Amino acid sequence: MEPSDLERIARQIRLRDLQAVYEAGAGHIGGEMSVIDLLTALYFRVLRIWPDQPKNPDRDRFVLSKGHTACALYVTLAKRGFIPEDEIHTFLQPHSRLNGHPNCNKVPGVETNTGPLGHGLPVAVGMAKAAKLSGAGYHTYVITGDGEMQEGSNWEAIMAAHQFRLDNLTLVIDHNRFQQGAALSDTNDVAPLRPKLEAFGWRVTEIDGNNMHEIVPALESRGDHPHCIVAHTNKGHGISFMQDTVDWHHKVPNKEQYEIALAELSEAL
Ligand SMILES: Cc1ncc(C[n+]2csc(CCOP(=O)(O)OP(=O)(O)O)c2C)c(N)n1
Ligand SMILES: [Mg+2]
């Protein structure tokens, strides 16, 4: 699929995500809008996956470590055919399998449970190491938040990935410059990320993480080391009044805000 097709799909996913968060009255809309272009490129171009065989052993592995943005993953999985599209209406409802954080025992296509930050990358290192041990050809991708990179467990995993020579692992950091209720720079500022990852022996690519023309080649790039993509994104991307403010980590739009956001995203379709 070409970048222009991917951009169209990402706009549709953004719109459905907004509707789902508004209907459910909860979600993490800012970090969902920042990560949707990355999810779209992965699921509609890069990942070797078969929605009718979610456990096929040859599938590429993908871990959404920033599990609070589960709704964006559900909408993407539904659009790709892993779950019915009309199931998105059940997001956060009693007895729904679409919980606030992804559960691999309930939702086909979810590789591992996430939500407690700082665990997805260590698990992904295990998946990539397992492929090395067994000779499997799959590639492992993981997306973390930038606030999430404050968790020390990530840095242990980063050291291990280098030690294990995991050239079959790609870490994407959704660098939207905000975490929960604060700017990254006002809390525990892990930026700049590139020199830190390079010092740990990783190959690093920096991209505009809301631009398909930069996302696709970065995700498809292969080399001799574990690969980190520092994806510069905008928290709330696509919705003017949400973009780049600290307010929209998990705030839910009121009716008036919803209609403005809906109009902006629909216009882009
Ligand atoms: C271990 C842990 N501590 C705290 C939280 C609560 N929490 C949920 S999201 C979040 C901020 C995450 O920021 P970031 O990783 O930058 O995500 P994004 O900006 O992409 O939403 C926090 C502190 C959590 N889920 N797990
Ligand atoms: Mg962030």
Q: Where are the domains of the chain?
A: 3-268
pLDDT tens-digit readout, 107-118: 999 999 999 999
- pLDDT of 268: 77
What is the CA angle 168-79-140, rounded to 5? 10
Q: How far is the CA of 138 from the centre of ligand 2 (A)?
A: 28
**Residue 220, both tokens:** 């498809």
- pLDDT of 159: 98
Report residues of the chain scoring pLDDT below 50: none
SS3 at position 43: helix
Hey, how many other C-beta atoms are within 10 angstroms of the C-beta on 4? 9
- pLDDT of 239: 97
- pLDDT of 49: 98
Nearest CA to ligand 1 atom 25: 116
Cα separation of the two ends of the chain? 17
- Establish whether residue 145 lines the binding site of ligand 1, counting it when its CB lies within 6 angstroms of any ligand atom: yes
- pLDDT of 269: 77
What superfamily in CATH does domain 3-268 come from? Answer: Thiamin diphosphate (ThDP)-binding fold, Pyr/PP domains (3.40.50.970)
Q: How many residues would you count in the chain?
A: 269
Q: Probe ligand 1: pick from 36, 37, 39, 68, max atoms within 8 Å of CB?
A: 68
Q: Find out whether 117 and 187 touch, Cβ atoms under 8 Å.
A: no
